[in-house]
Amino acid sequence: MSLTRRSYRAPQTIGGLALFGIAMACAGTAAAAEEAKYTVLNPTGNPPPIERRAMAPRPASLSGKTIYLVDETFDGGDKFLQQMQAWMAVHMPDVKTVFRAKKGAYAADDPDLWKEIKSVDGFMVMAIGH
| pLDDT tens track for 103-124 | 887 788 999 999 999 999 999 9
Q: What percent of the chain has pLDDT over 70?
A: 73
Mean pLDDT in the chain? 81
Residues in the chain: 130
Q: Cα separation of 38 and 35, whole Å? A: 10
Whole-model pTM: value is 0.58
Between 111 and 15, residue with greater pLDDT:
111
pLDDT computed for residue 47 by the predictor: 80
Cβ atoms 23, 29 nearer than 8 A: no
29 pLDDT higher than 80 = no
Q: What percent of the chain has pLDDT over 90?
A: 41
pLDDT computed for residue 99 by the predictor: 95
Burial class of residue 125, CB neighbours in 10 A (0-12, 13-18, 19+): middle
Q: Cα separation of 41 and 108, whole Å? A: 27
96 pLDDT higher than 80 = yes
Angle 65-61-125 (CA atoms, 0-180°, nearest 5)? 55
